[in-house]
Structure 1
């Protein structure tokens, strides 16, 4: 809601919305060090997600998300994806049966060994897997690196 005030003969726009400094004073964001601070920050961010934000609120939102992500990276690290986890996830997501992968790996036995983490895959096999799953879902952009190669 914009209002104007007269200052020195000029009409200057003012706003009843809080500016960024006001929001910083109100919320006092800081490096998150405890679970309670983490939960508080999450609560604030979740509340902000339910409406349209002003530019100042968007800046505060971005700062809080950064602080949350930093805390999560330190306290809830995600392990590096493994070939087995990637394969299981993609096969489940796209309902790919082991028999479908025989064309890439040569035999059902090799497919089982790879899916069970008992055997490595080659770069060309990784490239073939990426192509297979990208063809199943054009929105994907998998590469051989997603399969460890």
Structure 2
């Protein structure tokens, strides 16, 4: 029989839910797996409200994508501009422009929210 599931409102509720999830991970019956699904959703909602994950720095996101796709700075010229502009952006000497953000989003699939959201340098409207 499925346990009575309560909302997670406090850190104590959260800890209790994590313990229950740990126990349910060993189960194979459908009722336990259903309870696990529900508790996982509740825990995720609690974590989003209480432990938000900050967006990565835009340059760090670009560098990460470069590493993932084995790209060189020259590969970024189509999105950012000439080699000097690419170098300046990657060394944080030049802010991303709206045009660069759009191109990086389209060409590399980096979220515009990440490219805009947590920038330590201002975003320029220049091209």
- Fold shared, TM-score > 0.5 on shorter chain: yes
Of 14, 37, 40, which residue of structure 2 is paired with 1:38?
14
8 Å Cα contact 2:105-2:111 kept in structure 1: yes
> How do residues 129-148 of structure 1 correspond to structure 2 at under 5 angstroms?
129-134=104-109, 142=110, 144-148=112-116
1:126 Cα shift?
2.3
Distance change >3 Å, CA 116–CA 41, structure 1 → 2: farther
Partner residue in 2 for 1:54? 30
Q: Distance in 2 between matches of 1:56 and 1:48?
A: 6
What's the TM-score, normalizing by structure 1? 0.57
What's the TM-score, normalizing by structure 2? 0.64
8 Å Cα contact 1:32-1:67 kept in structure 2: no
Gaps of 5+ in 1: 1-17, 135-141
> How do residues 49-88 of structure 1 correspond to structure 2 at under 5 angstroms?
49-50=25-26, 52-54=28-30, 57-58=33-34, 60-88=35-63
8 Å Cα contact 1:104-1:125 kept in structure 2: yes
Partner residue in 2 for 1:93? 68
SS at match of 2:70: coil
Q: Distance in 2 between matches of 1:99 and 1:50?
A: 50
- The structure with the largest alpha-carbon Rg is 1
Gaps of 5+ in 2: 117-122
Distance change >3 Å, CA 30–CA 145, structure 1 → 2: closer
1:106 Cα shift?
2.5
